């Protein structure tokens, strides 16, 4: 018998709660779970109130972009009336069992209605019923019996599916060793191994994002194999409000170096458009921006040193932190392939990571009034996301990031950075 489908629910604070639906005995009373097997499951899936699962296949091949856009649209719908009084948490269905949550990743959400009203149930069924096939999310409703045991009922949309009365037991399961269930999918979804993988994503978007073709046209004009010149190339990374802009400008002036940015000006005008898209599209845009910058680096490093304000490490660190639910403990371990520099991307001589304390960042952010990307706003509001980005930066290698404390005065930080550039091995 195939193992039952499993789910990972992200709890406040970054913990992941893993559970299976079904198992030995299958659906029906013969497979009844023990009463109250896990207090956290009871708190999120049982009374008072009512909880629902909505998960859909992540898609494969040409379907992955459409699936990602459907999921983003579903999230937006679940954040509006009549669901505003409900709690919405990330929920990931994963294999190996068949059916909802099995046979691959099925991202989605847990919607908890503290009132447990019929209006929410009715609105959810209308919402899911209006979703076209393929890609319609599976809607499950959780309930507890008189003993406190938890069950899930699948709602059957018009035209077929499981019987409305069928229900399966909900059972806690241990966290799957050794990695977060979504880690194997990272290279396919947000941390692209090479230029072709990122380009393939944007090609799927040209029919509904005209700017995607413009980005592809610019990338196609870049040579596939570019080499760094004889002068030094330094990438400077850091979270928002770590002083990165000030440092890059000061270092560039001190070394008489060219200052480049990723994404470069030739596509930066479309940044807001792609920032509104799902992660797979957004990350493909930023990844291709790195290849455009690499072409500029190759030209400029022939005649002088080059400073790059953000490069591949920034793209990868934000992508990993955003894509993996849970806290920093669920990131891939150091030396995992996802932290390795792409083999076809021009590599800098040195990568410096500016760091400041969370308290210092808050002070610097106050009153800035600058436009923020979605991830930068998340950094300010979500300490767990900030920790994940920081740790992902620290695990990058080939090349790794060399940390620089950016808390002192501007002049002190500048001198420290210049010292690191002149003696990078220290």
Domains of the chain, earliest start first: 6-172 (no CATH), 183-422 (3.40.50.300)
pTM of the model as a whole: 0.90
The residue among 296 and 129 whose pLDDT is bigger is 296
Q: Which residues does 387 contact at the CB level (< 8 Å), separation at least 6?
A: 327, 328
pLDDT attached to residue 372: 55
**Contact present, 339 and 397 (Cβ < 8 Å):** yes
The residue among 139 and 381 whose pLDDT is bigger is 139
- Report the 10 Å Cβ neighbour count for 402: 16
CA 358 to CA 425: how far, in whole Å? 28
Share of the chain above pLDDT 70, in %: 86
Q: How far apart are the first and last CA of the chain?
A: 57
CA-nearest of 238, 176, 181, 198 to 392 is: 238
Instruction: Tell me the chain's radius of gyration from C-alpha atoms.
Output: 24
CA 290 to CA 309: how far, in whole Å? 11
Write phi, then psi, for 329 (nearest 5 degrees): -65, -15
**Which tokens sit at 295?**
């072409």
**Contact present, 351 and 237 (Cβ < 8 Å):** yes
Q: Is 417's pLDDT higher than 90?
A: yes
pLDDT attached to residue 288: 98
**Which tokens sit at 216?**
């592809």
CA-nearest of 261, 274, 287 to 194 is: 287
Q: Please, which pLDDT band fits residue 31 given cuts at 50, 70 and 90?
A: low
Share of the chain above pLDDT 90, in %: 72
Q: Please, which pLDDT band fits residue 376 given cuts at 50, 70 and 90?
A: low
Q: Is 233's pLDDT higher than 80?
A: yes
Give, in order, the Cα–Cα distances in Å from 75 to each of 7, 85, 299, 334.
18, 14, 43, 32
Task: Looking at 241-373, list the stretches that DSSP marks H as alpha helix, in order from N- to C-terminal side.
Answer: 244-255, 265-268, 271-275, 279-300, 312-323, 358-365
Task: Looking at 301-382, list the stretches that DSSP marks H as alpha helix, in order from N- to C-terminal side.
Answer: 312-323, 358-365, 374-381
The whole-angstrom distance between residue 406's C-alpha and the CA centroid of its chain comes to 27
Q: Is 123's pLDDT higher than 70?
A: yes
pLDDT, averaged across the chain? 88
**Contact present, 56 and 137 (Cβ < 8 Å):** yes
**Contact present, 144 and 48 (Cβ < 8 Å):** no
In this structure, what is the dihedral angle of CA atoms 296, 297, 299, 303, given to the nearest 10 degrees? 140
The owner of tokens 């560039």 is 252
């Amino acid at each position: 018998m195939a193992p039952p489908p499993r789910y990972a629910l992200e709890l406040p604070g970054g913990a992941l709660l893993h559970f299976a639906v079904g198992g030995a005995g299958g659906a029906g009373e013969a497979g009844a779970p023990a009463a109250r097997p896990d207090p956290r499951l009871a708190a999120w899936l049982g009374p008072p109130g009512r909880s629902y699962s909505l998960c859909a296949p992540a898609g494969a091949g040409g379907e992955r972009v459409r699936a990602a856009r459907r999921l983003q649209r579903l999230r937006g719908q679940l954040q509006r009336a009549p669901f505003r009084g409900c709690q919405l948490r990330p929920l990931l269905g994963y294999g190996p069992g068949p059916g909802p949550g099995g046979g691959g990743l099925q991202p989605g959400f847990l919607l908890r209605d503290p009132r447990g009203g019929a209006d929410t149930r009715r609105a959810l069924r209308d919402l899911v019923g209006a979703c076209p096939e393929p890609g319609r999310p599976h809607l499950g409703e959780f309930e507890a019996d008189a003993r406190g045991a938890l069950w899930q009922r699948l709602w059957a949309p018009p035209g077929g599916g499981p019987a409305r009365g069928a229900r399966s037991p909900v059972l806690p399961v241990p966290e799957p060793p050794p990695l977060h269930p979504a880690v194997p999918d990272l290279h396919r979804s947000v941390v692209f191994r090479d230029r072709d993988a990122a380009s393939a994503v944007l090609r799927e978007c040209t029919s509904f994002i005209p700017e995607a073709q413009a980005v592809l046209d610019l990338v196609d004009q870049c040579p596939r194999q570019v080499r760094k010149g004889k002068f030094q190339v330094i990438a400077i990374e850091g979270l928002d409000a770590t002083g990165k802009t000030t440092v890059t400008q000061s270092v560039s002036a001190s070394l008489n170096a060219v200052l480049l940015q990723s994404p470069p000006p030739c596509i930066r005008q479309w940044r807001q458009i792609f920032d509104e898209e799902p992660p797979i599209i957004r990350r493909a845009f930023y990844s291709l921006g790195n290849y455009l910058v690499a072409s500029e680096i190759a030209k400029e490093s022939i005649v002088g040193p080059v400073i790059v304000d953000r490069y591949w490490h920034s793209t990868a660190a934000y992508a990993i932190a955003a894509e993996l639910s849970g806290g920093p403990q669920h990131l891939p371990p150091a030396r995992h392939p996802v932290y390795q520099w792409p083999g076809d991307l021009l590599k800098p001589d040195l990568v410096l990571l500016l760091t400041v304390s969370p308290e210092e960042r808050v002070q610097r952010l106050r009153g800035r009034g600058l436009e923020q990307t979605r991830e930068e706003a998340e950094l300010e509001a979500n300490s767990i996301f900030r920790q994940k980005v920081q740790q992902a930066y620290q695990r990058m290698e080939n090349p790794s990031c060399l940390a620089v404390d950016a808390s002192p005065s501007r002049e002190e930080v500048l001198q420290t950075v210049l010292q690191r550039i002149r003696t990078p091995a220290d």
